[in-house]
Structures are given as C-alpha cells and as structure tokens.
C-alpha cells in the first residue's frame, strides 16, 4: 500500500469514533505513524530518514484533525476504493 492510501485508511480505522474535544495522546499518534510505516510498501523503517518520518507524522496529524473537524473533506481526500471498503 502506498503512503497516500495508508494514511486515510489507518486514521479512519483508529479514530472514526472521535469527536471534537476528545483527547488524543501523543503516544496514540506515534503508534498510528508506526502502523502507517509498517503498512507502506514503498519504504522500510531502515530506509526512512528523519525528514520523511516527520513528514509522515505531520500528515497523520493533519488527517486526524481533518477527520474529526471536517469529515466531508476527509472523505473527499480518500480514494473511491477506500471509501467503498471502509463505509460498507
């Protein structure tokens, strides 16, 4: 799975029930980043540099924020296949 498919899918799986005002620990975000890295096929933990890791962490944080605050935009960012899989 590539990075741009992995992030929305994993964020949806982990944070779907959260609402505005719910607290998300930094540890939870870091666990989500780890899951994203493990599911992506275009790089490995060993080949990941610190700049790319920080970019992935930012992307995950932004995806969580978008899911919680603007579900409609989040759904638009997901591919049709992912939406079909996750909403069925």
Q: Stretch 65-85: mean pLDDT, rounded?
A: 76
Q: Stretch 6-31: mean pLDDT, rounded?
A: 91
Q: What is the extent of the structural domain holding 70?
A: 3-87
Residue 52, token pair as written in the block = 């790319």
Residue 72 half-sphere exposure toward CB, CA atoms < 13 A: 0
Domain count, the chain: 1
Phi, psi for residue 64 in degrees, rounded to 5: -60, -45
Q: Stretch 50-56: mean pLDDT, rounded?
A: 94
CB-CB contact of 74 with 66 (8 Å)? yes
Could you tell me which residue, 27 or 71, shows the higher pLDDT?
Answer: 27
Would you tell me how many other CB atoms lie within 10 Å of the CB of residue 9?
22
Q: Stretch 13-32: mean pLDDT, rounded?
A: 91
| 83 has a pLDDT exceeding 60 | no
Q: Stretch 42-63: mean pLDDT, rounded?
A: 92
Q: Stretch 20-39: mean pLDDT, rounded?
A: 93
Q: Give pTM, 2 decimals.
A: 0.82
Q: Stretch 54-62: mean pLDDT, rounded?
A: 95
């Amino acid at each position: 799975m590539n990075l741009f498919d992995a992030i929305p899918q994993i964020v949806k799986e982990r944070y779907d029930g959260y609402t505005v005002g719910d607290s998300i620990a930094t540890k939870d975000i870091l666990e989500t980043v780890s899951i994203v890295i493990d599911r992506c096929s275009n790089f490995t933990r060993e080949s990941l540099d610190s700049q790319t890791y920080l970019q992935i962490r930012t992307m995950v944080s932004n995806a969580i924020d978008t899911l919680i605050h603007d579900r409609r935009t989040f759904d638009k960012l997901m591919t049709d296949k992912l939406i079909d899989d996750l909403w069925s």
